[in-house]
Structure 1
Amino acid sequence: AITNEGQDIIAATQSILDRENYFVKEVDKYLRHRDFLELRKKEIQYKKWLECVSEPLLQKIEDKVDSQSSEEIEERKRKQLALYLNYCNKKGKVALEDYDSSEYDPLFLNTHPTYLKVSTPPLHDPLLKEVQGRFLEGGLIQQCETGRIYSAKEMNDLYKAKLPLLPLGRQNMDAAEWLKIPPGYIESEIRQRKRRRVKRSRNAGTLDFKAWADSTCPPIL
């Protein structure tokens, strides 16, 4: 028979297990709810992106394509084909790596990108709204602290990820600043002179290749 003390221990243990099970269930419920909210957030952002970015851009592209008649497209194709045939009849063959652009340019359509170029008004991308808002807020804070207006490039440099610095690294400098420190450049004159002072004997051997070439019989290695 279980004594009263044993029953109390069992009851206390069961109470602890019940609390743990309840806690685990609540955590699972919270995680499922958070995953649901994240999914809904992505769906809403995607819907806004379709309405504000994708659909206007696709509509502009469709309007640009529809504005060109089939006759204009066929005329460009015939012009390209005529140039190709005339050049083939004159030269015998056409090689892209060797051709005279004054006589025939197979890439002449690429020099007129306005055929397929479209322009749109500024698109309000909802995916960039949070980043743009953070930049705007940071710009206002910097303006209040320093008394001057920061440009977008300055704010971008200010909020650039702070990576751990590497020896002679260039994470926090642009090309102009990098060129100002020739001693830190691996191909600078200082580094080249230092490498020339280092005596290298790693690839040095004991075989006399000149004597080997002059001998009439193979040398003994």
Structure 2
Amino acid sequence: MSLTGKCVALSNAQFVAPQAAPDESQAIIASVQCILDREHYFVREVDRYLRHNDFLNLRKKEMLYKKWLEDVSEPLLQKIEDKMDGQSSEEIRRRNDEQLSLYLNYCKKKGFVALETYDPSEYDPFFLKTHTDRWKVSIPALQDPLLQGIQRKFIEAGVIKQCETGRPCSIREVNELSKAELPLLPLSRQHMDSIAWLKIPYLYIASEVYKTNRQKVISHKDSESQ
């Protein structure tokens, strides 16, 4: 090869090498752009899914509230309104006048009314607060959607207990069994249902057990302060 041919070949090699670098950079840029496009698409899809999921959760809450309103709140309020409408203002006024008359007669007879020594057979100053049977509302079993999960759990526990004992178990028995599994808390009411709560005496919060417990706490604080 002549000297001129060598120079031409060297010049061509020098021109080809710089052209390869821009082509490689373009390929890298295209690959990076493809990755970025996929990332942006993934972010958009995740964001769309999260918005759709929030919308579904909101709709579930709205439907659950609507079902609870129709099956629980409105029937209960209707029963209460019917009960309140059944008590006429004349009857309430007559009952208050009767209590006032009993109070005045008791004052004339005894001279005073002492809450520590009053006789309920003659006059009960707490009659309107303790005798609330007239205000109680009886309603059928409500199909509360908020309790469907608990009721389904009770049914499953009843089926399991029936397989173990060979006899069907009622919801009350299953409820008692579930209560027995809970750890006991001191002075707690976890084993007290709504029916048992209505049967407790007046001023139950001030019972001897609670008084003794509060007295122990006060004595302990006094001993620490000294």
TM-score by structure 2 length?
0.60
Residue 68 of structure 2 aligns to a residue whose secondary structure is helix
Check if 1:112 corresponds to 2:131: yes
User: Are the structure 2 counterparts of residues 103 and 146 from structure 1 closer, same or farther at C-alpha, using a change threshold of 3 Å?
Assistant: closer
Check if 1:64 corresponds to 2:83: yes
Of 116, 123, 132 in structure 1, the residue corresponding to residue 151 of structure 2 is: 132
User: Are the structure 2 counterparts of residues 146 and 23 from structure 1 closer, same or farther at C-alpha, using a change threshold of 3 Å?
Assistant: farther
Higher percent of residues as helix: 2
Cα separation, 2, equivalents of 1:23 and 1:33: 15
Q: Shift in Å at residue 17 of structure 1?
A: 1.2
Q: Could you report, residue by residue, the CA deviation over 1:118-139 in whole angstroms, capped at 9, with x for unpaired residues?
A: 1011111122223323432443
Check if 1:42 corresponds to 2:61: yes
Equivalent pairs, count: 167
Q: Shift in Å at residue 88 of structure 1?
A: 4.8
| Counterpart residue identity of residue 133, structure 2 | T
Deviating more after overlay: 84-93 vs 32-41: 84-93
Cα separation, 2, equivalents of 1:52 and 1:94: 48
Cα separation, 1, equivalents of 2:113 and 2:32: 88
Once superposed, what is the RMSD of the aligned Cα atoms? 3.2
Structure number, greater radius of gyration: 2
Partner of 1:82: 101
Cα separation, 1, equivalents of 2:165 and 2:140: 33
Check if 1:29 corresponds to 2:48: yes
Cα separation, 1, equivalents of 2:177 and 2:51: 37
Sequence identity percentage? 64
Cα separation, 2, equivalents of 1:27 and 1:118: 51
1:83-102 equivalent positions in 2, closer than 5 A: 83-88=102-107, 94=113, 96=115, 99-102=118-121
Structure 1 alignment gaps of length 5 or more = 164-168, 176-221
Partner of 1:193: none
Residue 3 of structure 1 aligns to a residue whose secondary structure is helix
Partner of 1:73: 92
Q: Could you report, residue by residue, the CA deviation over 1:114-163 in whole angstroms, capped at 9, with x for unpaired residues?
A: 21111011111122223323432443355456644344356457778x99
Check if 1:11 corresponds to 2:27: no
User: Are the structure 2 counterparts of residues 84 and 151 from structure 1 closer, same or farther at C-alpha, using a change threshold of 3 Å?
Assistant: same
Cα separation, 2, equivalents of 1:93 and 1:6: 105
User: Are the structure 2 counterparts of residues 138 and 3 from structure 1 closer, same or farther at C-alpha, using a change threshold of 3 Å?
Assistant: farther
Partner of 1:199: none
Structure 2 alignment gaps of length 5 or more = 1-17, 192-226
The answer to whether the 8 A contact 2:106-2:113 is kept is yes
User: Are the structure 2 counterparts of residues 140 and 83 from structure 1 closer, same or farther at C-alpha, using a change threshold of 3 Å?
Assistant: same
The answer to whether the 8 A contact 2:155-2:171 is kept is no
Q: Shift in Å at residue 80 of structure 1?
A: 2.2
Q: Shift in Å at residue 92 of structure 1?
A: 6.1
| Counterpart residue identity of residue 123, structure 2 | Y
Q: Shift in Å at residue 27 of structure 1?
A: 0.8
| Counterpart residue identity of residue 105, structure 1 | D
Residue 101 of structure 1 aligns to a residue whose secondary structure is coil
Deviating more after overlay: 84-93 vs 21-30: 84-93
Q: Shift in Å at residue 37 of structure 1?
A: 0.7
User: Are the structure 2 counterparts of residues 90 and 7 from structure 1 closer, same or farther at C-alpha, using a change threshold of 3 Å?
Assistant: farther
